[in-house]
Amino acid sequence: MSPRHVAWGLFGLAALLRLHNVWAAPVLGGFDGPYHAAYIGILHWEGRLPLADESWSTYHPPLYYLICAAVWELLPAEMSARGVLTALRLVGVAAGLGLGLAVWRSARLLFPERAQVACWALGGALFLPMLVGPSSLIGNEVLTAAFCAWAFEWLLRTLRDPDRAGPALALGALSGLALLGKFNALALIGSVGGTLLWAEVRRLGWCLRSLRLGCLVGLAATLVSAPYFIRNVVVHGAPILLEVDLSAEVMAPIGYGRARPLEGYLSLAPDILVDPADRSERARSAVWPATFASVWFDLHGSLVGVQTPEGRRLARAAFVFGGIWTLLGVVGGTALARGRARTAIPSGGLALGMLIVFSLAAYGFFTWKVASFSVLKGTLLAPGVAAFSLVTALGCDRAFRRGRAVARGLVILGAFFVALVGATFWAGWIWPVRVSPAAFYIQAYNDPPTQRVFDYFVWGREPDISSQR
């Protein structure tokens, strides 16, 4: 079977899984689903950009919500609330598949003679558990990850043709759009700046010309994203606002807004990997095991529960696969670092390493600021998904070349992984997915915009917006 056929098959399976979940997932289900919908509702019904502290999620940059509001505006006025919700969820589906396409294209740029690398990378990007659920639900994380992946592709194109301005300007525009998706895209900005500076100094030496590419990227990113950040400074006094600053008082009883002890980053207590339903203090304080559990089972995606025995067994199986893929990623990263594997683009390995390092550093900084267990969710690492997928794919390819028996075993392992993810995250199949609408009313942050979208999407009640326009 040719790599292109494998790619089409992976895209088809990923699309089928996501489209099914669009239909089967609970109304407003997903991490902070009602609050993301409230943001879209303000844009659609009131025609204005909300203030950062107006609702739980309105501190986020507006790109995802503007796209959803535009989609809603194009829908027939008589469409049902369920139809509107389905259309809005398709934005996430498109973003999830677009992320896979960007990773495929990046792999073909880095390793044009090794098509298997692109297949492994595509499988990882499309079926990484932490992104499967959010790709079918309302939320800004997958769109941001997609723009980061597309920006990474254009970083590679910029490194390939450093004398052309076009790729650098495209990279800057995509980086600015990623920043308008979610603030964790700052990891992308740092990695792009560091990679370009290092690569240009190596090529040209220390001179003003070595700053040219960085300036072009920065100019384009600023032109795209600056209006939003200037607005934040004018209205709120700071360009970047975080929920920890806006909602600490509301969430203080559960530790939100309190700094996490640094020893949590050194604790490798595997409690949550043994029992995914464990919410003890020992499990909650071990940062990296809890994050690993979120990446490989999407503990915060609200599509699959680990309270049942079946859920715990499937989670443990996913953790085993996660451990194997992580080891393969170490193999790939080590091969790049030692020069045993070379990229077709100068400094391509450096770009991969920079994005991984900055993604982990940004994740560490944010989770350190907020002690709540719920913040240890893998989607905060989404800007680095392209690099993680590519490095792991390189490890798979190196293992694949060890011999026919190893190659067959790896293919079987990959097929089992796709089957496990597909079965586990096929919403409502292994066990019914039931989220009581009342659950959203007992959450700590329940404001009028949230109540309005709740009434519309859950009960089908049209809001009275005559006085709000």
What is the full per-residue pLDDT of the chain (469 aa) written as tens digits?
A: 788 899 999 999 999 999 999 988 888 887 888 889 999 999 999 999 998 878 888 889 999 999 999 999 999 988 999 999 999 999 999 999 999 999 999 999 999 988 999 999 999 999 999 999 899 999 999 999 999 999 999 999 999 999 999 999 999 999 999 999 999 999 999 999 999 999 999 988 888 888 999 999 999 999 999 999 999 999 888 888 776 565 555 555 555 667 888 899 999 999 999 988 888 888 888 999 999 999 998 876 555 666 677 778 888 999 999 999 999 999 999 999 998 888 999 899 999 999 999 999 999 998 888 877 778 888 889 999 999 999 999 999 999 888 888 888 888 989 999 998 888 888 776 655 444 444 444 444 567 888 888 889 888 888 876 545 4
Residue 55 has a pLDDT of: 82
300: helix, strand or coil: coil
182 within 8 A of 61, measured Cβ to Cβ: yes
What pLDDT, in 10s, does the model give residues 126-182?
999 999 989 999 999 999 999 999 999 999 999 999 999 999 999 999 999 999 999
What pLDDT, in 10s, does the model give residues 32-89?
888 899 999 999 999 999 988 788 888 899 999 999 999 999 999 889 999 999 999 9
361 within 8 A of 187, measured Cβ to Cβ: yes
361 within 8 A of 399, measured Cβ to Cβ: no
Rounded alpha-carbon distances, angstroms, from residue 303 to 118, 170, 434: 29, 36, 9
Beta strands in 155-281 (DSSP E): none
pTM of the model: 0.92
